Amino acid sequence: MPSGNVPPPTQHPDEPEFVCIPVNREWIPILLGALQPLKYPEYWSGTLDENRGARKDFGLLLDQIMQAEECNMATCCEDKIYIKRLNPETGRLERSSDDGATWTTDPTDPTNIVVKQPPPVTDGGSTTKCDAASNFSQHWNDLITASSENLGTATTIVELASGLAAIIIDIIIAIVTEGAGLVLAVTIADAIFAGITAAFGEGKAAFDAYWTSDNKDKILCAAFCTMGDNGQFSQTEWEDFKHKVRADLPAGAALDMVLTAANAGGYVGGSNMASYGFSADSDCSECCPSCAGLWELYDETHGTILSRDETQITVEATFIGSGYYVILSTMSADVCCIPLGYDVISGTVNQTGNLSWTTCGTTPVEGVPQFSFGLFGFDQEINYMQVQSSVPFTLQFNFDVP
């Protein structure tokens, strides 16, 4: 019986699936010599028939390698076939060579093609982070204008996507070669297609009605509060920006259209939008309120605020009905943050069942918290906090430094 350790392959060397290995031709004779042990029966394991088959295939292997010496690698190696998709969470272009089992970033995604400009905020420079946010807001408004104009002239969704793609490339400073620019235009048109379909159906009038001055102004603060101190976005900061825009602005097809357009360039395009412009007169001082600044007494009756600043709110409970209550809320489903916790200043609070809260995205309702069991969920964003006890108490709620 064979005594080797290498099991014979189940396919012959001249059967697909083939692989291409670029090797300098001077190494071919050396490679052929190094493979000579494969012709001995002691090299292979398996049955006698498998052993004989492996040694016969050795001759085929040598023949394949010798043929490859004259092979033009550009023509004898078949390209992989890829399917593509937009990542449902990030909107980035991805591709798969295994029929969707795994996905990787597509090299033609704009974040891999567009040149990221230098950060606008540098040591010793006059540009501020607010200037960068103002630049970004200016170009966001450019996207609104371009979207409105194209909605007024496009007769098909394909025409609308193609027209917007050209504007997007200009706004995100796509410094690419002419050939890459064509690929980029097609990629962007594909990327924004789904996000602009609803707005195309609603029409220009509905789009224009959505973009009020108030909604436009919220973009300035969304950018300022999420971008880095250097006036650029990282991938994480860009995702934070998109999340904040969704939270701060009302849902609508008009928002989907412009956010999809801006997201076509990803965090690189977003950073480039902030890197240039003439909007240096905006005021960002009130853009990012501290977490503590978001909270107020529910109906101004559920407690008495004794003191507050950017890191704490101290509240004395109010007697209502049959017990003492403190209820703080942001009064909005999508205005949320993560408190650090609280300290009991005086009195006692029952730690089982009397601490309640509502998580972000759910409308806060007096006396009807989303969760009313155990301790607050201080590892998640919330918009409602309720504490009650049968005896008087005072709490200090603590918040992160803004």
What is the SS3 string spanning 105-166?
A: ECCCCHHHHCCCCCCCCCCCCCCCHHHHHHHHHHHHHHHHHHHHHHHHHCCCHHHHHHHHHH
- Evaluate if residue 306 carries a pLDDT over 70: yes
Q: What is the mean pLDDT of residues 290-301?
A: 88
Q: What is the mean pLDDT of residues 5-30?
A: 78
Query: What integer best gives the mean pLDDT of the chain?
Result: 82
Percent of the chain with pLDDT over 90: 27
Q: What is the mean pLDDT of residues 11-30?
A: 77
Quickly state the pLDDT bin for 149 (edges 50, 70, 90). Answer: very high
Give the per-residue pLDDT at 303: 93
Q: Structure tokens of 184?
A: 């980029």
Give me the residue label for tokens 């969707």.
100
Give me the residue label for tokens 């550009």.
74
Q: What is the mean pLDDT of residues 210-235?
A: 93
Instruction: Tell me how many degrees the CA angle 163-166-168 measures, rounded to the nearest 5.
Output: 110
Give the per-residue pLDDT at 6: 81
Q: How far apart are CA 48 and CA 71, in angstroms?
A: 35
DSSP summary character for residue 13: T
Per-residue pLDDT reduced to its tens digit, 338-357: 888 888 899 988 654 467 88
Give the per-residue pLDDT at 279: 61
User: Count of residues for the chain?
Assistant: 402
Q: Confirm if 63 and 79 have CB atoms less than 8 A apart.
A: no
Give the per-residue pLDDT at 337: 86
Q: How far apart are CA 105 and CA 97, in angstroms?
A: 12
Higher pLDDT, 273 or 42: 273
Lowest mean pLDDT among 53-62, 136-145, 170-179, 349-358: 170-179
Tell me the three state secondary structure of residue 305.
strand
Q: Confirm if 315 and 397 have CB atoms less than 8 A apart.
A: yes
Q: What is the mean pLDDT of residues 236-256?
A: 90
Residues in CB range of 195: below 8 A, 6 or more apart: 256, 257, 259, 260, 261, 263
Give the per-residue pLDDT at 179: 47
Q: Structure tokens of 10?
A: 């189940």
Q: How far apart are CA 104 and CA 94, in angstroms?
A: 5
pTM of the model: 0.59
Q: Confirm if 378 and 384 have CB atoms less than 8 A apart.
A: no
Q: Which of 176, 173, 203 is nearest to 275 (CA)?
A: 173
- Evaluate if residue 15 carries a pLDDT over 60: yes
Per-residue pLDDT reduced to its tens digit, 93-110: 788 888 888 888 887 777
Highest mean pLDDT among 54-58, 111-115, 328-332: 328-332
Give the per-residue pLDDT at 74: 46
Percent of the chain with pLDDT over 70: 84
